Structure 1
Amino acid sequence: MSPRQIAAMLIQTGIKDITSELDFKRCSYRSFAHGGFGSVYHGALRDGQLVAIKCIEMIGQWGAWSPSDKHWKHAAHEIYAWSKCDHPGVMKAIGFVFYKDAILLVSPWAQNGSLARYLGNGLRTPYGCYQCIEVASSLEYLHGIGIVHGDVKAENVIISDSGSTQLVDFGSATFIHSFTLRFTRTSSSLPFSAQFTAPEILDGTNDKYTVETDIYALGMTILQIATGEPPYAGKSDLAVLSHVFRNILPHRPDFDDIISDQPEKDKLWNLLIRCWEQDPKLRPTATELIEIKEMSTAQPECS
């Protein structure tokens, strides 16, 4: 299937082709972020709206691209998965651009950056518990419509202009159920961040992401919100793998920044431990994780 045929199929499902709306003169030639299956560039539409442009497995400058069949299919898969989402906790994709036989995903520019950047800069909030709830609610929504995110981590959660959190990056997403379109991937490898990847993926027991692997990653993301640092901070990927395979959990934090009551702190830690169960079937659901709301005494100003 050619990229033009794939683009035509995307249009038929209601996904917008905004190639004519992109101001190519205002698009960067160097990526500002890279991870998973692609690089992200800064750009703008002709109406002045700033956007992020996701390019699947394209490294270097725009002119050096050499897209292949797997690039087209993976780009189409990500765009299609993202297009199925309509939730305040999931950033809305604008559409796609067809450029030099490559299909590029376009989404709004997140000027506040990612949650990982926010936490890394030492920016904390007394309402961190609500950030946990927002991410859990977004994941509950995705699982409810049959989508596994596949790469839940603070780097893939952005801070919106209103200060709320939104999930982004559906490059590793999979469908629980069949949708109208299905693009078969040709890549056999899965991108992963060791600190957020479930043991059954790391040891090869499972070769695809599941609802349960999302929950494992969500638990680690909640831990990062609570501590301001990634799980197993300061350890190499090899050391992290060793800890995961030996079922050595991250150190328990004090949770003072998000919960004041000691019994509720214990309850949260026990909930996180369940997220990291070696047996995926023993992990809680995203819906269960939303009960963190009952543990917090802080109320957000926007509530």
Structure 2
Amino acid sequence: MPEPGHNLHLACTNSQEKRFTHGRQLNATFSNTHVLDSSACAKHAQGAGPTIIFGHSVPFVGIRLAMVVHKGHTNSVYSVAFSPDGKSVASGSNDYTVRMWNAHSSSSIGEPLRGHNHRVWSVSYSPLGNLIASGSDDCTIRLWDTNTGQQSGIMQGTHLFYSVAFSPNAKLIASASGVSSSPTAFAVQMWGVQRRKAVSNPFKGHTNPVWSVSFSSDGTRLVSGSSDKTIRVWDVERGVTIVEPLKGHTNVVRSASFSPNDAQIVSCSFDGTIRLWDARNGGLIGEPYQGHTGLVQSVAFSPRGTYVASGGDDHTVRPWDTRTGRQVDQFQEHNRGVTSVAFSPCGQYIASGSYDCRVIIRKVLGDESYPNDESAPRVVTSHMSIAQIFECLRRAGCVDLSLQMDSRQDTAMIASGGGFGDIWKGKLHNGANVAIKAWRTDGFEPCSYKTIKRAARELYLWSRMDHPHIHRLQGVILFRDQYLGMVSEWMDNGNLHQYLRRYPNADRYELCTHIASGLEYMHARSTVHGDLKALNVLVSANGIAMLSDFDFSVLLEASSLAFSASSNSRPGTIRWAAPEILLEEVHEKTMQTDIYALGMTMLEIFTGEAPYPNCRTDISVIRTVERGTLPTRPTELGEDEKSNMMWHLMSLCWNRNASERPSAAQVVNALVFHICVA
């Protein structure tokens, strides 16, 4: 989300261009369909154009703002929630109904869900998407089948239900209770989705109505906000508070929720402020967010935790940057107070409900892409700060781990990682050990901004890989304000070369299968490893081999992202390089060159040595390969059938004709179904 002040040129009509600048409000009707109003669906179906409404500032660069306005409720809307797939929005209203709406078009989904006999305060989608829970003044929580639109269950209480929330595993519902003479008033309670009954004693501690309840992402904690001006964090299993009540608001705490990584809590209050808290110790983070001119009714984190959105009685929805605490925009489409806000799972939309009876869904973010070429530097030079390059990575989608760990890492120790480069052993706030690979950006050559973008994109793709034999990039940090730090899980067993020295009796066939399986996963996603060898394979505490240290060619091109000096001593990759690379027949590494390196790595697993151990220099290796000389069969491989098949598989990987080498999938198949069972 760009900083305030950017301009957006938006084609309003075929012959007219309007300029929108942050801080201005413009109410106009245009001929283009920027906003769809569900009340106009009937006219639209008959061939008439939909009602067009557009009226707020747009600081987002290069994005055409789309907005859908849903009308159908006959009284105030108190709650909105996106479905897990982001395709629909549920709403609860003072008209006693729950409704479902299409998130991207001007249509409702089915008929209103009727059953409550009083106002509906809260709605929540099951993470499975099959149920909606609603809490009401009629002292019930009702479950609705999203496929049939029918009520599928009811939980009877003895008090008002101001808030309901599904647990991440979809098995529990937490509720927040309001005024009642019942002993469960002012409490948080857990309900079983299957049993439709309370499954815990009330969580007691608040002294006034509880307005909000929300689970942590792992389901072990709850956060609640109350009219007693406090926020409480609960242990779900034990039903007790984990830290002292969070105090700071001077009026009702209307809404509170965990950040996606559970490191922070955001809250809003009738005192007109939004506050950010440290979820571990309850400490206040920074200053209160101030800007709303009335009560703040709702607040929600974006999926990545970079932004929060708030809605208030001043009729506005306001996004805030959690890194700076600054408001980055303001939307004023509602003509009465905003009671509820929710980010879509993709983070590109914010839905809101209001006393004006409407549900509005507006697009606020693009795909986290870079600014247009007009707003981005053409060349990245040595004058580009480390923070700017870090922002490139963050905007490409790499997770900023600054909230989960101290970026200074004063107690971190440098580890001699050989081929890894500068690796530091650090810790997350939760105590987990992590590896921090430090890149520095001094002494680099100018390169195109597009190259930096591509490098960041490839790091992002690495972070998205999810496979038991891929060492995933967890995120990035600004390490000690000097380096780009890539953060991954710490592996106590080190690299595969170290592991084999420590555990000479390890199952080497199994390790070959691990590596081939990880490579198969990468190739299935059109990703080339580019630097496969034992030094770049890490081994977990339970002996699982994982591919790491990918040699993305674009990262080499982006010399501004060069490894720090001590990494330059890493052993060369000549001994694992395919002939077509060494002889410069091709200039880019391919899946076929990966297969050649896989064969060499499997050889390395059995011998414990780099390929061609008798060649002392790289030029000697190149001349040997040029002559077509393959490695000799190692004595570590016996003469039995299993060993013969293994040697034959390696030889296939070294075929001089790259197109005749097996695929990674074929290697896995040979290992799993033939060699390992021989």
Q: Which residue does 1:148 correspond to in 2?
A: 528
| Secondary structure in 2 matching 1:169 | coil
TM-score in terms of structure 1 length: 0.79
Q: Separation in 2 of the partners of 1:266 and 1:75? A: 42
Contact 1:76 1:103 in 2 (8 A): no
Name the residue aligned to 1:48: 431
- Taking the aligned partners of 2:658 and 2:623, their CA distance within structure 1 comes to 19
Name the counterpart of 1:33.
417
Offset at 1:31? Answer: 5.4
Residue of structure 2 equivalent to 1:179: none
1:134 pairs with one of 514, 528, 550: 514
Q: Measure the CA separation in 2 of the matches of 1:230 and 1:124.
A: 19
Q: Secondary structure at the match of 1:148?
A: coil
CA RMSD of aligned residues (A): 3.0
Q: What do residues 144-170 of structure 1 show as CA deviations (whole Å, max 9, x unaligned)?
A: 011101011111111112211111112
Q: Kindly indicate whether the alpha-carbon contact (under 8 Å) linking 1:156 and 1:167 is maintained by their aligned counterparts in 2.
A: yes
Structure number with higher relative contact order (C-alpha < 8 Å, ≥ 6 residues apart): 1
User: Which segments of 5 or more consecutive residues in structure 2 lack a partner in the other structure?
Assistant: 1-376, 378-383, 563-569
What one-letter code is carried by the residue in structure 2 that aligns with 1:247? Answer: G
Q: Distance in 2 between matches of 1:292 and 1:183?
A: 32
The structural deviation recorded for 1:101 is 5.8
Q: Alignment partner for residue 552 of structure 2, among 168, 173, 179? A: 173
1:119: Cα distance to partner? 2.2
- CA deviation string 1:57-115 (max 9, x = no partner): x4xxxxxx726466x93863552231131111101222101243642211111111111
Cα distance in 1 for residues equivalent to 2:580 and 2:659: 12
Tell me by how many angstroms 1:261 deviates. Answer: 7.3
AA aligned to 1:118 is Y
Distance of 1:276 and 1:117 partners within structure 2:
25
Q: 1:288 aligns with which of 649, 666, 669?
A: 666
**Contiguous gaps of at least 5 residues in structure 1:** 59-64, 175-181, 299-303
What does residue range 57-96 of structure 1 map to in structure 2 within 5 Å? 58=440, 66=442, 68=444, 73=452, 76=456, 79-96=459-476
Q: What's the CA shift string for 1:236-288, capped at 9, x where partnerless? A: 133222211111111112454xxx77334333222211211222111111111
**After the TM superposition, which segments of 4 or more aligned residues of structure 1 sit over 6 Å from their partners?**
none
Residue 75 and residue 24 in structure 1: after superposition, are their counterparts in 2 closer, same or farther (change >3 A)? Answer: farther
Deviates more, 1:132-141 or 1:278-287: 278-287
What corresponds to 2:131 in structure 1? none
Letter in 2 for 1:26: T
Task: Report the identity percentage.
Answer: 33
Deviations 1:201-245 (A, max 9, x none): 122222211101100000001111122222212431332222111
Cα deviation, residue 51, structure 1: 1.5
Number of corresponding residues? 275
Q: Find the residue that maps to 1:143 and give its secondary structure.
A: helix
Q: Residue 628 of structure 2 corresponds to which residue in structure 1?
A: 247
Superposition TM-score, scaled by structure 2 size: 0.37
Query: Structure 1 or 2: larger strand share?
Result: 2
The verdict on how the C-alpha distance between 1:137 and 1:26 changes in structure 2, with shifts beyond 3 A counting, is same
Aligned-partner Cα distance in 2 for 1:297–1:253:
21
3-state SS, counterpart of residue 630 of structure 2: coil
The alpha-carbon distance between structure 1 residues 119 and 45, as it changes in their structure 2 partners (threshold 3 A), is: same
| Residue number in structure 1 paired with 2:648 | 270
Which among 409, 413, 416 is matched to residue 24 of structure 1?
409
Identify, as 1 or 2, the structure richer in helix.
1
Determine if the alignment matches structure 1 residue 185 to structure 2 residue 185: no
Please say if residues 114 and 158 of structure 1, whose CA atoms lie closer than 8 Å, have aligned partners that are also in contact: yes
Equivalent AA in structure 1 for residue 410 of structure 2: K
- 1:288, 1:254 → 2: CA distance? 26
Equivalent pair of 1:224/1:230 in contact (CA under 8 Å): yes
Whole-Å separation in 2 of the counterparts to 1:153 and 1:16: 27
| Partner residue in 1 for 2:82 | none
